[in-house]
Chains A and B, each alone.
Chain A
Amino acid sequence: MSELDFLFAFAAVLIAGVMCCGRDGRAGWAAMAVYGAMLVAVMAAAGKVAGGSIPSALGFSVLGHKIGWRMDGLGWFFSMLTAGAAFFASWYAAGEWGRAQPGMKTQHLLLALNVAAMLLLVNAGDLLSLFIGWELVSWAAFAMMAQKGGPAQPAAMRYMIYALAGAMAVLAGIMIVHAVTGSFAYKDFAAAFGAMSSGMKWLLAGLFAAGFGVKMALMPFHLWQAAAYSETPGASSAFLNAVSARMGLFALILVLVKVMGLSALAGLHVPLIGLSAKGLLMWIAAFTMVIPTFIALMQTDARMLLTWHGIGQGGYMLLGVLVGTGLGTAGGLLHVFNYATYQMALFLAVTAVIHRTGTSDLDRLGGLITRMPWTYVTLLMGIIGLAGLPPMNGFVSKWMIYRSLLDSGSAFLLIFAFVGTLGTILSVYKLIHNIFLGRLRPQHEGVREAPWSMVAPMLALGGIGFVTGWFPGLALNLTDIAQAAMGAPELPHGLGGVATARGSLNMIWVVSILLVAIGFGAIVFYFLGNRRYEVNQLNNYAGGHFLSPQVPYQFSHEFYPGLARVIGPWYRGSIVRAEQGIGTLLDVSGDLWRGIYHLAWTPLYLLAATVIALGWAIMGGM
Chain B
Amino acid sequence: MRLLADIVLMPLIAFITGLFLVLMYRRVRAKIERRVGPPFFQPVYDIVKLFAKKTQISHGVMHDLSIVLLLGGYITAEIFLPVPGFKGLAEEGDLLTLIYIMMVPMLGLALGVGSCANPNGSIGISRALTAMLAYDVPLAVAIIGATMTYGTTNLVEIVRIQQEGGMATWGIATMPLLAIGGYLAVHGMFGKEPFEIYIAPAEIATGPMVEMSGKYMGALFIMQCFQLYTIGVLYVTLFLGGGENWPLFLIKVAAVVFISVAVTNVYGRYRTDKVVRWMWKWPTGIALLGLALVMAK
Which A residues are within 8 Å of any B CB, using their own CB?
367, 369-370, 373, 376, 380, 384, 387-391, 395, 399, 402-403, 406, 409, 411, 414-415, 418-419, 422-423, 425-426, 429-430, 432-433, 436-440, 496, 501-506, 509-510, 513-522, 524-526, 528-535, 537, 539-543, 553-556, 559-563, 565-566
Contact = CB atoms under 8 A, between A and B. Distances in A.
B201 interface: no
Interface in B51-70: 51-62, 64, 67-70
A510 B153 contact: no
Interface stretch (B36-44, B114-122, B162-170): B114-122
Contacts of A522: 68, 72
Contacts of B144: 406, 411, 414-415, 418
Contact of A540 (B62, B97, B116, B127): B116
Nearest to A524: B71
A367 B71 CA distance: 24
Given A423-B133, A437-B115, A534 B126 contact: no
Given A429-B110, A429-B129, A543-B205, A418 B137 contact: yes
Contact of A370 (B60, B96, B123): B60
Given A403-B96, A525-B67, A533-B58, A504 B219 contact: no
B214 A530 contact: yes
Interface string B265-297: 000000111011100100000000001000100
Contact of B97 (A390, A433, A440, A525): A390
A210 B132 CA distance: 36
Given A521-B71, A530-B56, A533-B56, A506 B93 contact: yes
B140 A540 contact: no
B132 A422 contact: yes
Interface string B129-158: 110110011001100110110011110000
B117 A367 contact: yes
23 contacts: A373-B61, A390-B101, A406-B147, A409-B148, A409-B295, A415-B144, A425-B103, A502-B153, A503-B96, A505-B97, A506-B92, A509-B89, A509-B92, A514-B76, A514-B104, A521-B67, A522-B68, A525-B67, A525-B71, A530-B214, A541-B120, A559-B126, A562-B130
B73 interface: yes
Interface centre among B64, B129, B145, B280 (most CB of A within 10 A): B129
B175 interface: no
Nearest to A515: B72
Contact of B72 (A503, A519, A532): A519
B232 interface: no
B172 interface: no
A595 to B, nearest CB: 52
B272 to A, nearest CB: 3
A504 B91 contact: yes
Given A440-B117, A505-B97, A529-B53, 7 more contacts: A389-B104, A403-B153, A411-B148, A411-B295, A437-B115, A514-B76, A553-B119
A517 B130 contact: no
Contacts of B280: 566
A398 B277 CA distance: 27
B273 A562 contact: yes
Interface string B89-110: 1011111110011011001001
Q: How large is the interface on B (under 10, 10 to 19, 20 to 34, 35 or more residues)?
A: 35 or more
A509 B93 contact: yes
Contacts, number: 251
Interface in B180-236: 197, 205, 210-211, 214-215, 218-219, 222
Contact of B111 (A370, A395, A399, A432): A432
Given A390-B104, A518-B69, A556 B122 contact: yes
Contacts of A403: 96, 153
A566 B115 CA distance: 28
Contacts of B140: 414-415, 418-419
Contact of A438 (B53, B117, B215): B117
Contacts of B54: 530
Given A426-B130, A509-B93, A517 B154 contact: no
A510 B97 contact: yes
Contact of B100 (A389, A502, A556, A563): A389
Contacts of B125: 429, 433
B129 A425 contact: yes
A87 to B, nearest CB: 30
Give 10 closest A-B pairs by Cβ, nearest first.
A562-B272, A437-B114, A529-B215, A521-B71, A518-B72, A503-B153, A555-B119, A517-B75, A503-B94, A418-B140
B7 interface: yes
B83 interface: no
Contacts of B22: none
Nearest to A395: B100
A109 B148 CA distance: 53
B79 interface: yes
B148 A380 contact: no
Contact of A541 (B70, B118, B214): B118
A529 B104 contact: no
Contacts of A539: 57
A555 B113 CA distance: 12
Contacts of B275: 562
A9 B167 CA distance: 70
Given A429-B125, A541-B118, A415 B68 contact: no
Contacts of A540: 116-118, 211
Contacts of B126: 430, 555, 559-562
Nearest to A406: B147
B221 to A, nearest CB: 12
